[in-house]
Amino acid sequence: MHYVSPISVTPGALEVRLARSDDEVRAAQRLRHDVFHAARGHARADALDHDEFDARMDHIVVVDPAYEGNDCGVVGTYRVATHRSAHSAVRGYSSHEFDLAPLASVGGPLMELGRSCVLEPYRTRGVLGLLWRAIGDYVAQNRIDLMFGCASIPGTDVESARAQLSYLHRHHLAPAAIRPRARGDGAIPMPTGMSTTLDDRRALFALEPLIKGYIRLGACIGDGAYVDHDFGTIDVCIVLPTAALSARSVRRYRPTALESHPALAADG
């Protein structure tokens, strides 16, 4: 996995690939810290966002040689891992917030993804499309049957997120056979209730870009959400069988269609 593209907001080409060294992983962790923590005024002493899962996962990085914010020029990252079985998946990061046992019905390899993070000036459709092209190749190379992971709505005020959560529950709930369920102290039920077409349009418009991007690819959502006070987010579980990807969606991974991919923000 190795791409070079002239798409850039500073002089020089961007390179998208798997991290090759501990230094590049630390640069990705520093970028995650700046976006997930420092931007909220919760800077950590080591200025790194890291956990016990980092060593077990692959790190896709976007590198701009002209960027001087860290030693490796990392301006974007996505953390991914292949699970050969649901037994492995239930020991991953997402299992802290969601019961992934229903994924045991999936016969083939699973892919967990998260910690998507792009430096603000680089949050263009071209740059983010390069990340998704890398994810598409990772899926193909590892013959992934289903992707899953946590995606975030900023803030911990459930009432403010009610419209988005209710819309996702009504229109994009995962089939029961592969439906993770929120678990633990932070778990909350999805809001339910009557809705109008206008309400749904407003909710779709307000939907977080990352979640909206997953939905457009054919993703569905687990039951319930998780309030993550450490990251200041409300998380939903994304479930995306790769067989559900339409031909049009798959084309979004290709260089000729990068500009059509919805802009993504960041998730925890």
How confident is the model over 58-69, as pLDDT tens digits?
999 999 988 887
CATH code for position 193: 3.40.630.30
**Structural domain includes residue 201:** yes
The percent of residues in the chain predicted with pLDDT above 70, rounded, is: 85
- The helix/strand/coil state of 48 is coil
Which residues have C-beta within 8 Å of that of residue 8, sequence separation ≥ 6? 14, 64, 66
Largest CA distance in the chain: 52
CA–CA gap between residue 207 and residue 19 (Å, rounded): 31
What is the length of the chain? Answer: 268
pLDDT of 105-151, one tens digit each? Answer: 887 899 999 999 899 888 887 887 888 888 888 888 889 999 999 99
Report yes or no on 158 lying in a domain: yes
Q: Is residue 207 part of a domain?
A: yes
Inside any domain, residue 265: no
Q: Is 154 in a helix, a strand, or coil?
A: strand
Asked if the structure places residue 267 within a domain, the reply is: no
In-domain check, residue 12: yes
- The pTM of this model reads 0.83
Measure Cα distances from 265 to 18, 35, 78, 115 in Å. 20, 10, 12, 11
- Alpha-carbon distance of 201 to 196, in angstroms, equals 9
The predicted structure's pLDDT at residue 87: 67
Q: Which residue range forms the structural domain that includes residue 185?
A: 2-260
Quick check: 254 pLDDT over 70? no
For residue 248, being part of any structural domain is answered with yes
Residue 247: φ, ψ to 5°: -60, -40
Task: Give the total number of structural domains in the chain.
Answer: 1
Instruction: Give a yes or no: residue 268 inside a domain.
Output: no
Residue 197 confidence (pLDDT): 80
